Amino acid sequence: MQITIQAFSIGEIPKRVLDSIPSYLKKGKTLAAYVIGQEGESNPVSLQAKGSVKLSWSERAIRSMSQMASGVKLFFGHQEGTNNNNGRRTASEVLASYIDTIGGKVSAVVVAPFDSVPDEDICSIEADIVTEKQRDGFIVEAINKLTGIAIGKGSEESPAFVGARQIATVQCFTPHTTQHNTQSRSPNMATFQEVQEFVKEQLVFPSQLFHISEILKDKKFQPILKQEYMDNGELKEVQEKLKATEDKLAVYEKKDGRTKGREELDRMTKESTTDAQRDHILRAWDKSSQTDFSERALETFIKDETKEYDYIVEKYGNPKNPDDGKSKEQIAKEAKDKELEDKDSLDDIAAALMS
């Protein structure tokens, strides 16, 4: 059975965990550690049942929770009735996660940065889980997805996991360094080789250090990982968006190309054709589906349409139009003459009235 839950969950953050976090993410921050889950029982709210449910968590389930916690966001409180994160107020993001034994229970612990020690001292996972029914509750079989971690105040709320609380904070001040001829580093800063050795010795997996969204940025593994982590629905959506964008680009390029092609046709035909021929060529262009806008293609288009125009004139005579075949220059001159003639007539009328 698959259900969706919201579950609220003194020590110190191990040095190995602090050293695994890049210094630029810690500088000037306060790191807070929260227990997000423990083996044993919890009483979270089931969004399907709209009430609390009794869950039994195995050590395997808690370790799985820890492995998928890196990169998960922390939010101020839950969103009532949904684990959708849209529009939520983000508190922080998990930089590291680890397994520890607290109060005799295997516990999943996360570390997140804050500008100061957060007042929120309890936390609550939000997840999609697979369960198996038992007599008085459910056994957690697997965690499909850890969608978020809500933090709150113990004075106002009660955690579903009894131990799901803030257990430690560490203030990370900017280390003092001096600049010499060679690049200096803080005495506490590990070298890249030391980090590599630590990762190998401690069997640290990439998913414990980076969220899958960060791992997908690795160009070497990106093609392989995308096939694994992008489901068919996401892939189809991306492909549809890409197709829509390509179609819009093709329409724009065609429209832009035809506009520039028409402007170039107008320029090329001004001295080599009559006004009537040019009008015919431009009208033919507007009706055509020409997609080749090179100069050679435009020259061919002009040549073909000029032959077509000459054939029409030879077979049917000059085309009739409201201006009786007059050129644009002639039409403009006649309009100007008419305007002057009308003005002279008005002047004559005005002079007669005043006499």
Q: What number is the average pLDDT over the span 163-174?
A: 81
182 pLDDT band (50/70/90 cuts)?
Answer: very low
Q: How many CB atoms lie within 10 A of CB 4?
A: 19
Q: How far is CA 280 from CA 118, 170, 307, 319, 341, in A?
A: 77, 81, 11, 10, 33
Position 330 pLDDT exceeds 80? no
Position 54 pLDDT exceeds 60? yes
Position 57 pLDDT exceeds 50? yes
93 pLDDT band (50/70/90 cuts)?
Answer: very high
Query: What's residue 291's pLDDT?
Result: 76
Position 81 pLDDT exceeds 60? yes
Position 122 pLDDT exceeds 60? yes
Using CA atoms, how far apart are residues 221 and 355, in angstroms rounded to an integer? 100
Give tens-digit pLDDT for 25-53. 988 899 999 999 999 988 887 777 667 78
Q: What number is the average pLDDT over the span 204-212?
A: 73
Q: What number is the average pLDDT over the span 189-213?
A: 70
105-114 β-sheet, strand order: 96-102, 105-114, 30-38, 166-171
pLDDT above 70: percentage of residues in the chain? 72
Position 58 pLDDT exceeds 70? yes
Is the full-model pTM beyond 0.75?
no
Query: What's residue 178's pLDDT?
Result: 31
Query: What's residue 73's pLDDT?
Result: 94
At 123, list the tokens: 């936390």
Extents of the domains making up the chain: 2-174+185-189, 253-319, 323-355
Q: How far is CA 184 from CA 32, 84, 172, in A?
A: 29, 45, 19
40-42 and 73-76 as β-strands: parallel, antiparallel, unpaired? unpaired
Position 321 pLDDT exceeds 50? yes
Q: What number is the average pLDDT over the span 312-336?
A: 65
Query: What's residue 36's pLDDT?
Result: 92
Query: What's residue 59's pLDDT?
Result: 92
Query: What's residue 179's pLDDT?
Result: 35
Q: Which residue has the higher pLDDT, 107 or 47?
A: 107
3-state secondary structure 219-237: CCCHHHHHHHHCCHHHHHH
Position 113 pLDDT exceeds 90? yes
Across 10-24, 41-55, 71-85, 274-288, least confident range: 41-55
Q: What number is the average pLDDT over the span 120-129?
A: 89
Query: What's residue 63's pLDDT?
Result: 93
What are the beta bridge partners of residue 92?
A: 74
Position 227 pLDDT exceeds 80? no
Q: How far is CA 104 from CA 59, 101, 107, in A?
A: 12, 6, 9
Query: What's residue 297's pLDDT?
Result: 84
Across 23-37, 45-59, 203-217, least confident range: 203-217
**Total residue count of the chain as it appears in this document:** 355
Q: What is the mean pLDDT of the chain?
A: 77
The maximal CA–CA distance of the chain, rounded, in angstroms, is 122
